Homo-oligomer: A and B are copies of this chain.
Amino acid sequence: MITLDEGSGGKAMYELIKKIRTELNRTRIKSKFKSDWKNTDDDGATLNLSNLNFRNIVFTTDSYTVSPIFFPGGDIGKLSLCGTLNDLSVMNAVPVGMSLSLIIEEGFEKENLMKIISSIGKISSETKIPVVTGDTKVVEKGKIDKIMINTAGIGITKKVISNSGLKVGDKIIVSGGIGEHGIALLSKRFDYRTNLISDCAPIFEQVRKISEYVTAMKDPTRGGIAASLNEMAEKSKVRIVLDEDKIPVKREVKAVCELLGLNVYEIASEGRFVCGVKAEYAEKCLKILKKFNDGASMMGEVVEGKGVIMKTAIGGTRILDVPSGKLVPRIC
């Protein structure tokens, strides 16, 4: 059990932090960036940039509270590292270093903490992206719900991809089935039996393979594709027209949404992205993405106008609006 002592700046805290570090390093990251980071035991970590060839750094942050903290396909640790890695990825940045800030409730099981740290370590190891700096706070019982995590990340890139770069004529591609993260969480929360697992995963390998053809990109997390496509359309000053038929939704996701009256287009994914690609390269990109995930789909196109319109299966059209009101479930 975690005690307040372990967040107090004293001996107990240093011991806890040492355990966390060990767990994160246990995975022995072999990264060309890792050795470039110094002072990782100091107040901040430093990166000597002299040897890196790039023009821009990209900087992003996200805080994660999720219930349940362990869910099919992941946990809050995996989620918090992937989420921030993915925010860098959709901007075409190669992540070079991450921060990890933990706020832990007094009495939280140390075993569970170490499970969470271990899944962060695993993703860090698989993606070769080091966690280079961090912070650990322990708060009185009842002041938070178990654990909250903030991650921030720095990436480097020669060419930034923005979410506002859609051009008329572009095709809209999604990298896999939507809503699987939100529905996996919700199923677990309601003890609904399903084989569905969260899609939570890093996306940057996929992004890297197609980024030269991409005009705009975003990950459909909070608010699902309804939120992210509307944001892209608005910022790009264009209209997106979707074929409802071609929006990839797994059977189990559809079933739970129908059961609970949820709009599947508003449900979060945590390992998917939506992007605009130049029409002439759209088939090529789709083929590449299908190698990673069979659910990848060219689901729409960009035209003049504004907003997001959906051509329905029965031949009609309707507006896919920005979500409003409380979203179920809270997933990030």
Contacts and interface: CB of A to CB of B under 8 A. Distances in A.
B227 A43 contact: no
B44 A91 contact: yes
B160 A46 contact: yes
A62 interface: yes
B61 A327 contact: no
A195 interface: no
A38 B58 CA distance: 9
B43 A90 contact: yes
Contact-residue bracket for chain A: 35 or more
Contacts of A58: 39, 44-47
Interface in A43-84: 43-50, 54-63, 65
Interface of A: 3-5, 7-14, 38-39, 41-50, 54-63, 65, 87-88, 90-91, 93, 97, 99-103, 132-135, 137, 139-140, 143-145, 148, 150, 152-155, 157, 160, 162-164, 218-219, 221-224, 227, 235, 266, 268, 322-327, 330, 332
A20 to B, nearest CB: 14
Given A39-B160, A148-B103, A160-B39, A56 B47 contact: yes
Contact of A61 (B54, B135, B162, B235): B135
A156 to B, nearest CB: 9
A332 B135 CA distance: 11
Nearest to A60: B44
Given A8-B223, A154-B57, A154-B59, A137 B65 contact: yes
Given A8-B327, A330-B139, A47 B65 contact: no
A65 B330 contact: no
B91 A46 contact: yes
A60 B93 contact: no
B103 A61 contact: no
A178 to B, nearest CB: 14
A154 B221 CA distance: 26
Q: Is the interface of A mostly helix, strand, loop or mixed?
A: mixed
Contacts of A154: 57, 59, 154
Contacts of A268: 9
12 contacts: A3-B326, A8-B223, A9-B223, A9-B268, A11-B323, A43-B90, A44-B155, A46-B56, A59-B133, A63-B101, A63-B150, A101-B150
B10 A41 contact: no
Nearest to A41: B235
A46 B157 contact: yes
Residue of A62, A134, A322 with most chain B CB atoms under a 10 A cut-off: A62
Contact of A47 (B57, B148, B325): B57
A132 B60 CA distance: 9
Residue of A54, A143, A268 with most chain B CB atoms under a 10 A cut-off: A143
A89 to B, nearest CB: 9
Given A47-B58, A65-B144, A101-B152, 18 more contacts: A9-B323, A10-B223, A10-B323, A13-B222, A42-B91, A45-B59, A46-B59, A46-B160, A47-B56, A47-B57, A48-B55, A49-B55, A61-B134, A62-B101, A63-B101, A65-B103, A65-B139, A144-B144
